[in-house]
Amino acid sequence: MQIIPVPATLDASAIDQLVRELARNPEEKVLFDARHLRWVDPGGMIGLLVAGTMTRDRQETPPLLQLQDGAEVTTYLNRMGFFKVAETVFDLDVRPPRRSWSSSDVLLEITPISTNSDIHAVVDRVQQQAGAILSRTLGYPASAVVQFSVILSEVCQNIIEHAGASGWVAAQVYKWTKRLGRQVLILHVADVGQGFRGSLADTHAARFGDRWGDATALEAAFIHGLTRFPDSGRGQGIQQIRKQVRRWEGGISIRSGTARISDVPDWEDALPMQDNLPVLPGAQIHIVLPAQKPGDA
């Protein structure tokens, strides 16, 4: 059996480590050892679901997931709806605690996305809580609720229109004390479908010739707004999201195939483009929106 240690801090970037470990012994039964997990965000939770789904689909049997029973992080995972989804992916060794509390501190629990009705339900649910979180907690103007709802709808729509497979979305607010010194909202959406390269290949691969690959496909969509749809005006969602996230001094990255492309804010030190990463099916869109500083518009 292959034992894959889950990092103590599990965020969106941790998916690279998990996928790299999975590639070492693709035929062995897998145990994800998360007994030392101490902190996790939406990107980490959904990334773990992606890694588990990759293993389940490859071996046609669910991998094992081991967590520390009774730990605070286990309680948090339950509050975020992780176990409800994880039961369809993993063989769990921990029985989730009963969910008897309010989830008012969670903007959006982990929610499967496979149809347009799922997206409408997500947006409706978020709008009920987003006003308080965006204005009171992050200091955004009242108009931000509508703009955030558009962003949420667009990133989920990417699954329906391009992935060819279902996915998940989640959002939560955290205090980044050491990293940024203020509250941030983290929104993460991912799928295990064909990815950007697969979605754009029929329409655009020929024009790029030998340069066509995961990084080129991400540049085509992220920077140039290219889409698989022939009609003008389609596929501009990601560029509009980039502009709005930048207005809020936030950051956005997309991980697909062997590449990750990022719009890097001043407070972040990530690379704009990373290539030759471990192969990851589908796409992951990660957005971080920081609280407004005093005096910000």
Q: What is the pLDDT of residues 185-194, one digit of tens each?
A: 999 999 999 9
- Give the model's pLDDT for residue 236: 58
**Contact predicate 156/267, CB 8 Å:** no
For the segment(s) 1-94, the CATH number from 3.30.420.40, 3.40.50.300, 3.30.565.10, 3.30.750.24 is 3.30.750.24
Residue 295 has a pLDDT of: 57
Contact 86, 110 (CB under 8 A): no
Instruction: Tell me the Cα Rg of the chain.
Output: 19
- In this prediction, residue 159 carries a pLDDT of 86
Domain 1-94 identical in fold to domain 103-297: no
Confidence of residue 230 (pLDDT cuts 50, 70, 90): low
Higher confidence at residue 231 or residue 148?
A: 148
What confidence tier does 164 reach under pLDDT thresholds 50, 70, 90? confident
CA angle 181, 289, 260 (to 5 degrees): 105
Encoding tokens for residue 291? 């609280």
Per-residue pLDDT tens digits for 66-100: 998 777 899 899 999 999 999 999 999 877 666 55
pLDDT tier at 33, thresholds 50, 70, 90 = very high
Least confident of 155-169, 238-252, 262-276: 155-169
Per-domain residue ranges of the chain: 1-94, 103-297
- Assign a CATH topology to domain 103-297: Heat Shock Protein 90 (3.30.565)
Output the pLDDT for position 285: 96
What is the percent of the chain where pLDDT is above 70? 92
- The torsion angle over the Cα atoms of residues 40, 22, 285 and 162, rounded to 10 degrees, is -140
Report the 10 Å Cβ neighbour count for 72: 10
**Residue 276 burial (CB count, 10 A):** 8
Which residues is 113 bridged to in the sheet? 167
**Please, which pLDDT band fits residue 269 given cuts at 50, 70 and 90?**
confident
pLDDT band at 129 (very low <50, low <70, confident <90, very high): confident
Contact 284, 254 (CB under 8 A): yes
pLDDT higher at 23 or 170:
170
